[in-house]
Amino acid sequence: MASATRYDVTREQLSDLLAGTPRYRVDQVWSGLYSRLGEPESWTDLPKPLRSDLARLLPGALTPVTESISDRGDTVKFLWELEGGSRIETVLMLYRDRATVCISSQAGCAMGCGFCATGQAGFTRHLTPGEIIEQVVRATERARALDRRVSNVVFMGMGEPLANEAAVWTAVERIHGDLGLSARHITISTVGIIPGIRALAARPLPVNLAVSLHAADDALRDELVPINRRYPIDDLVAACREYLGVRNRRISFEWAMIDGVNDRDSDARELAAICRRLRPAAHVNLIPLNPTPGYPTRGSSLKRVHEFRDELERLGANATVRQNRGTDIHAACGQLAAGQPVAVGGSRTRAGERQSAAEAASTGGDGEQLGCDP
């Protein structure tokens, strides 16, 4: 585990760290961290010695490695190195009316979903709260430089947030309370870790929950999302119902459409039946599967995605087609591997190297909705 970094310290820890510094100065430092942002050296209303102390006592957690910008210029992917050498990615997506940051909660992921580049690369370690918060801070700085404001945060980057629930929650509280984002604009996406969903239901803020379902019968879900063997669909749906009971919010089901695998009429019928059990609070987000090096099956055609959506609607389920951002820079859902080698039919290659931008974009085209905001 990394040692405490700039955004790991609580306000009390900051006071202790700066013992002897007047209270109003500590407040100024806190507002530097959460309102002004940037490097402590740039907070020129603080005395120079204090600024140098801060730079030394509170090192940043994220060392920039590369920054990629999509062809359209509306998606920025940051690759960071953490203490210990692991790498993670963060994606900033700019829309006309909002800006969303997609953040990582772990370096890698232990859940082993075969269609996901992060899962293909395996698990390295949990992120600390500070490493999670700093991703939002860095993306906010980048957005500000473009005269934009970050309005939404989604835990849809690398890792399974509910396998690291305590750190994720500390980060959520700080993003909400100190960076000032409404809980309703924060979304946690989970593969379906039931104890994590229960833990979340007991937390005080009404964040959005997205559940990566991808299959509505256990045999297929066991194959696509191996953790389903431990937390099967009926139990998962019951946990979602409990969450709805407490939170009174909508739940979204994520469904990456895989050609001939989970895009059949029978899949739509089974999925609609689950949604009807949670009516009116379940919403399905359909995304054509994005290509990853370790999974050969293609995403469904956009035509099929729309037919599937229509079928769901006809069966009484609400569904939206979402088209991912940033496939050309491997910044879309499931494509984040931070340059880690991923398993490809027994051999290993660098994530993303297999696919040309054209191939990567070929499952794309313009969807009606862009990005992974639920």
The residues carrying an active-site annotation are 89, 333
Q: Is 287 in the site for ligand SF4 (CB under 6 A)?
A: no
Q: Token pair for residue 68?
A: 């990629």
Question: Is residue 9 within 8 Å of residue 63, measured between CB atoms?
Answer: no
| Contact pick of 5, 120, 152, 290 for ligand SAH (by CB under 6 A) | 290
| Contact pick of 78, 80, 115, 243 for ligand SAH (by CB under 6 A) | 115
Give the nearer residue to ligand SAH in terms of CB position, either 208 or 290: 290
Q: Which does 337 bind (CB under 5 to 8 A by kind): ligand SF4, ligand SAH, none?
A: none
Give the nearer residue to ligand SF4 in terms of CB position, either 93 or 191: 191
CB of 46 to ligand SAH, least distance (A): 38
What type of residue is 138?
A: R
User: Residues 313, 237, 188, 312: what is their CA dihedral angle, to the nearest 10 degrees?
Assistant: -10
Which H or E element spans position 100?
Answer: strand 99-102
Angstrom distance (rounded) from CA 164 to CA 161: 5
User: Residues 9, 15, 16, 22: what is their CA dihedral angle, to the nearest 10 degrees?
Assistant: 150
| Contact pick of 133, 156, 239, 272 for ligand SAH (by CB under 6 A) | 156
Q: Is 216 in the site for ligand SAH (CB under 6 A)?
A: no
Give the largest CA-CA distance in the chain. 68
DSSP 282-318: EEEEEEEPPPBTTB-SPBPPHHHHHHHHHHHHHTT-E
CA distances from residue 141 to 66, 72, 98, 341, 363 in whole angstroms, order as listed: 16, 20, 15, 30, 32
Give the nearer residue to ligand SF4 in terms of CB position, either 9 or 239: 239
Binding mask 241-280 for ligand SAH (x = CB under 6 A): -------------x-x------------------------
Q: Of 209, 206, 124, which is closest to residue 162 (Cα–Cα)?
A: 209
**Residue 361 neighbours by CB distance under 10 Å:** 16
In this structure, what are the phi and psi dihedrals at residue 99, rounded to the nearest 5 degrees? -135, 130
Q: Of 280, 283, 293, 297, which is closest to residue 255 (Cα–Cα)?
A: 283
Binding mask 86-125 for ligand SF4 (x = CB under 6 A): -----------------------x-x-x--x-xx------
Q: Which does 61 bind (CB under 5 to 8 A by kind): ligand SAH, ligand SF4, none?
A: none
Q: Which does 312 bind (CB under 5 to 8 A by kind): ligand SF4, ligand SAH, none?
A: none
| Contact pick of 8, 134, 160, 267 for ligand SAH (by CB under 6 A) | 160
DSSP 151: -
Q: Which does 344 bind (CB under 5 to 8 A by kind): ligand SAH, ligand SF4, none?
A: none
Q: Of 319, 342, 339, 332, which is closest to residue 364 (Cα–Cα)?
A: 332
Q: Is 287 in the site for ligand SAH (CB under 6 A)?
A: yes
| Contact pick of 90, 120, 187, 212 for ligand SAH (by CB under 6 A) | 212
Angstrom distance (rounded) from CA 284 to CA 312: 9
Region binding ligand SAH by CB under 6 A among candidate stretches 22-30, 89-97, 126-134, 186-194: 186-194
**Angle at alpha carbon of residue 128, lines to 178 and 43, rounded to 5°:** 45
CB of 159 to ligand SF4, least distance (A): 6
Q: Token pair for residue 331?
A: 């910044």
Give the nearer residue to ligand SF4 in terms of CB position, either 58 or 79: 79
Which residues here bind ligand SAH, judged by CB under 6 A?
Answer: 115-116, 156, 160, 189-191, 212, 254, 256, 287, 289-290, 292, 333-334
* Residues in touch with ligand SF4 (CB under 6 A): 109, 111, 113, 116, 118-119, 159-160, 191, 212
